[in-house]
Amino acid sequence: MKKILVVDDEEGLRSAIVAALKLRDFETIEAENGIDAYNLAKTTLPDLVISDVMMYTGSGFVLREFLRRDDRTSRIPLILMSGHAQNAGAWGAESDVEYLEKPFSIEELLAIVDKKLGEKTNQ
């Protein structure tokens, strides 16, 4: 069973994503900010991280940097969700990160999850 860490300070969105992933038989772990997510990632080693960009404590960009600098977590695929990344010039800047623009459908998210997990399997 693939394990996915879902990170968002908006509990409603985080819960909706987790529910959809559980319906697809993924194991889920939750965090409400990037700092907590990094600490969880170090100990649980998820197969994928889905994170919001804009959070009060430890943004998605900070989480990405922490994950990439740690040998234990550097290869974990990452999906960053944001309504602001494109405006900030970050959209597509990192080839190892998939960006998902808000608002999005659960079907769009699940398609990207399948893609990222497929890429990990092929590494």
pLDDT at 31: 97
Question: Considering the chain, what is the average pLDDT of its residues?
Answer: 89
Q: Max CA-CA distance within the chain?
A: 36
Burial group, residue 2, by CB count within 10 angstroms (0-12, 13-18, 19+): middle
pLDDT at 119: 74
Domain total in the chain: 1
Domain that holds residue 41: 3-121
**What amino acid occupies position 108?**
E
pLDDT tens figures, 60-116: 989 999 999 999 999 999 999 987 655 555 555 566 788 888 889 999 999 999 999
Of all residues in the chain, the percent with pLDDT exceeding 70 is 87
Q: Is 56:33 a contact under the CB 8 Å cutoff?
A: yes
| The model's pTM | 0.90
* CATH code: domain of residue 20: 3.40.50.2300
pLDDT at 93: 55
